[in-house]
Structure 1
Amino acid sequence: MASTHPLPLKTIESCRVAPPPGTTPDCAILPFTYFDVFWVVIPPVERLFFYPYPHPAKRFLTSLLPSLKSSLSLALKTYYPLAGGYRRTPGTDNKLEHYYVEGDAVSFTVAECNGLFEHLASDHERDVLQLRCLVPELPESEELQPLLAVQVTVFPDQGIVIGTSVHHTACDGTSSMQFMHTWAETCLSGASVTSRVPVFDRTSISDPSDHYSFFYNLVQKIIKSAPKDASPASKPPELVLTTFTLKQQQIQRLKQLVSAKAEQRNTTFRCSTIVVTFAYVWTCFVRAKRIDRTKKVCIGIPADYRARTQPPLPMEYFGNCLVSCMGTANATDLIEDDGVIVAAEAVGNAIDKVSEGLNMLRNLIDEYTKFSGAPMLGVAGSPKFKVYDVDFGLGRPTKVETVSVVKTGAMSVAESRNEEGGVEIGIAFPKDEMDCFNKNFFDGFKLLSE
């Protein structure tokens, strides 16, 4: 692993990028739905897009940087709520809203770094502190919380990194990646992209059971119970972030093993790529954390709910439309040789529950409360986001990293950049736990090849 010293970063410019004047509403208000409110207490989603750029910094500043800024401005013409923020609705006690007025803009930072681009864009262990130097700050504000910040870092004669921080109340991964694709396509073409038009209408999400108040009150309890100005008793462990890939052939083998065992057990669930991938990583996670065999362990899985609402929402709906499902198992069962079979059954059954409808939401909170304190692996991202198709005119990214998993303790998931049907996983651990995870991940391949 490389040095844990911070990157030698120099800020070149700090500015703000707004939609073109006269192209957006004078004022726009999007009230929070029950899909948005829970994300108030979740850290922003932070992604890094690495691109090769074997040219001097001067060329970047004079040729590429102006295009990145102008195309961002054009993309914000369509995705203007991202230039605004969120606030408490004036005159109310429990209502929140996204608020935009013409002239609002996105924080845009330009930096230069003489570090090792190839090392940071690799799969092997990298120091989390160094990766975080490439992530833009999204300042916290009680009056109007910004929703998006961008940082572009040039590594002279090596590459550039485009970093984004998106407040999760603004949108989920489906929406944020639609924005990124639009920005990139605009930069590539030099003109506004009209093939992907977001839908902001909130009236299509009905709430007869007042899920909003339920989740708002829950969030307030979480905020009030959080420690105030707590100083850690000891220095937190230094983390490393590593990328692992399950190849398509390995995934197919996992499906065959899981399906055969499920048939023997007379259990039924959809044995998909996602199910076996999550199951495999979950078993490695439990072993790496050296979790007490007597404990229950959990995995939290987000699911896009657009197609399941009544009436269904279009995929272009911009905002949050996620429900979370949770799989549970005994740690001892996941540690055994057939652990991936048990894990797949738990994951598959959890995902199947999503079809039960929105009444599952409150039941899910009861489940999370019941297993409060149990070791939990979360999931961020999806292979469906096509992060490796985000092309600003530099070709496909050499690497995409979701750095925010460091804060949430989740694993990031994306499509493999090397082959169709593979899945890429990013995860952060202290060094000793990463060594254990790494060993279990690759030792499992031997079982898959038998």
Structure 2
Amino acid sequence: MMTSSIVQHVSECFIKPLHPIPDSNRICHLTTWDISMSSMNYIQKGLLFKKPNSQQDFIDNLLNKLKHSLSLALFHFYPLSGRLVTQKSQDPPSYSIFVDCSNGNPGARFIYATLDITVSDILTSIDVPPVVKSLFDLNKAINHDGHTLPLLSVQVTELVDGVFIGCSMNHYIGDGTSYWNFFNTWSEIFQAQGQGHDHENVPISRQPFHNRWFPEGYGPLINLPFKHYDEFVSRFEPPKLRERFFHFTSESIAELKAKANRECKTNKISSFQSLSAHVWRSITRARHLTNDRKTSCMVAVNNRPRMKPPLPEEYFGTSVDTVTAEATAGELLENDLGLVAWKIHVAVTKHDDLEIRKSVEKWLESPVILDLNRHFDPLSSVAMISSPRFNMYGNEFGMGKAVGVLSGYANKCDGNVTAYEGYEGGGSMDLEISLSSNVMTELELDENFMNAVSVNNMLGASRGHTLNEN
């Protein structure tokens, strides 16, 4: 069933903001953080829901409400309905990218598709089924492709007994915080429809902040020293990987945190830093690296609260950096968890306002476009991305609480670890780990790693009762 099932696209349209975008908002400029994402894939995240039983015209009503609430959400998050534009000159070389948010753009793509599998087929699989990638549009697209592709594409896929709502969002337009702020607002508008609010004006609790940040004396248009995008844009093709979810309860994470802090005689190491250290050590052990082999753990960090003054959490754009902890394989495996967690803690805490501003100034002097081909070693590195702090399971679209959060093709590499809010909340986490097949097998056989894992299949066992509801 799983191998033969193919996603069938049934219909496609474009959704524009319900109200016209004011002329004053017609141009959205891109910052150094945005532009550095030129060669990365779109952000691809989505929610899996159980389909309610015996509701006549359910899918037609759902699609209509999704489209209308999306058009309202796009009015608030108007850059998502735009297109990229480049201004360039040859002498001196100059290449500037911005977002045209004018009302003449077609808007965001909206796809309705079907797939002849069940929710259980997805959730009870050991590895993430390959068909999950087909639940998203714009696979393999990179952010610079937004000159000709939509900056947001929503795919709603109807399963036998469920619905998956997946979004592909251009990383020029926003990071994970921006993505989930948009998704949360879309859900809020959807739920407010039919609850006494004006059909065309639904109030939202958190207005996006659209004034993008530039250091004093720079912006709003950044000129890149290039003549053509071929000089800075590249594409990454990952090798064949196994992708699998591992579930960590709040109790398991608390034990790791207590252990790390006890070994370092401190109380400063966070839950996520402790878990990241555990994963970094375990993957390094599974790779059987020589003791002198250098390894690294890259952690994505949100710049908003680190700035002085801090940027609003509603800042809509990319405001994220990666910090790196380094050690030899011998250092990781011959020392305790606390030492490794402390390395990550130091790397994160050093990333303050001064460091952020220094890195931005350095980038402006010599722009660096992130490239997984050059900036990530798949043989010895681990990358911790996304955040369990994002509100994922609070999004509802008339089908109750989602039973799973899934990601698509985007930016997967050997050693990539995507963090999600745990289904039961309370500080639990799900980690989606991508590794070569032989390393994943070694990780699964590692008792030290698996002793902290509470679920040995993908997602379903931690929410088995949910699969039997309705």
TM-score interval (norm. to shorter): 0.7 to 0.9
Query: Counterparts in 2 of 1:290-369, with a 5 A limit?
Result: 290-336=288-334, 338-355=335-352, 356-361=354-359
Q: What letter corresponds to residue 209 of structure 2 in structure 1?
A: V
Whole-angstrom distance in 2 between the partners of 1:177 and 1:288: 33
The aligned runs of 1:17-96 (5 Å cut-off) are 17-22=15-20, 25=23, 28-55=26-53, 59-89=57-87, 93-96=94-97
Instruction: Give the 3-state SS of the residue equivalent to 1:270 in structure 2.
Output: coil
RMSD across aligned positions (CA):
3.5
- Check conservation: 1:284, 1:440, Cα contact below 8 A: yes
Shift of 1:57: 9.7
**3-state secondary structure, aligned to 2:423:** coil
3-state SS in 2 of match to 1:69: helix
Q: Confirm or deny: 8 A CA contact 1:41 1:223 kept in the other structure.
A: no
Cα offset for 1:102? 0.8
One-letter amino acid matched to 1:206: P
- Whether the 8 Å CA contact 1:297–1:328 is kept in 2: the answer is yes
C-alpha distance in structure 2 between counterparts of 1:322 and 1:205, whole Å: 14
1:151-176, CA deviations, whole angstroms, 9 ceiling, x for partnerless residues? Answer: 000013x1000011111111011111
Q: Is the 8 A contact 2:42 2:168 kept in 1?
A: yes
Distance 1:346 1:269, change over 3 A: farther
Between the two proteins, the alignment pairs up a number of residues equal to 430
Structure 1 partner of 2:8: 10
| Per-residue deviation, 1:393 | 2.1
- Tell me how far 1:335 sits from its aligned partner: 3.0
Measured in 1, the distance between the counterparts of 2:22 and 2:394 equals 28
Q: Map residues 98-113 of structure 1 onto 2, 5 A cutoff.
A: 98-104=99-105, 105-113=107-115
Counterparts of 2:392 and 2:85, CA distance in 1: 30
- In structure 2, the CA distance between the partners of 1:414 and 1:183, relative to structure 1 (3 Å rule), is same
8 A contact 2:298–2:384 mirrored in 1: yes
Residue 210 of structure 1, CA deviation: 8.7
Query: Post-superposition shift, 1:321?
Result: 1.1
The equivalent residue for 1:115 is 117
**1:119·1:126 contact (CA, 8 Å) conserved in 2?**
no
Contact kept, 8 Å, 2:282 with 2:449, in 1: the verdict is no
* Deviation (angstroms), 1:343: 2.1
Instruction: Work out which of the residue numbers 188, 200, 204 in structure 1 matches 2:210.
Output: 200
The residue that corresponds to 2:465 in the other structure is none
Which residue of 1 is the match for residue 459 of structure 2? Answer: none
SS in 2 for 1:133: helix
| AA matched with 1:116 | T
User: Contact 2:444–2:450 at 8 Å: present in 1 too?
Assistant: no
How far apart are 1:24 and its partner, in Å? Answer: 5.0
Identify the structure with bigger relative contact order (alpha carbons < 8 Å, sequence gap 6+): 2
Aligned AA for 2:278?
Y
Determine the structure 2 residue equivalent to 1:418: 424
Task: Choose from 410, 434, 442 the match for 1:428.
Answer: 434
Structure 2: how far apart are the matches of 1:209 and 1:23?
26
Mapped to 2, the partners of 1:241 and 1:57 lie a distance apart of: 35
Task: State the shift of 1:256 in Å.
Answer: 1.8
- TM normalised by structure 2 equals 0.81
8 Å Cα contact 1:240-1:428 kept in structure 2: yes
Matching residue's letter, 2:165: I
Aligned partners of 1:372 and 1:145: how far apart in 2? 27
Aligned equivalents of 1:207, 1:423: Cα separation in 2: 39
Structure 1 residues 349, 223: CA separation in 2 closer, same or farther (over 3 Å shift)?
farther
Note the residue ranges of structure 2 that are not aligned, 5 or more in a row.
455-470
| Contact map agreement 2:332 2:340 (CA 8 A) in 1 | yes
CA contact (8 A) 1:83 1:147 kept: yes
**Secondary structure in structure 2 of the residue aligned to 1:151:** strand
**Alpha-carbon deviation of 1:415?**
1.7
Stretches of structure 1 that go unaligned for 5 or more consecutive residues are: none
1:325 is matched by which residue type in structure 2?
A: V
Structure 2 contact 128–245 (Cα < 8 Å) conserved: no
Alignment partner of 1:357: what SS? helix
Higher helix residue share:
1
Hey, what's the Cα distance between the residues in 1 that align with 2:303 and 2:227? 21
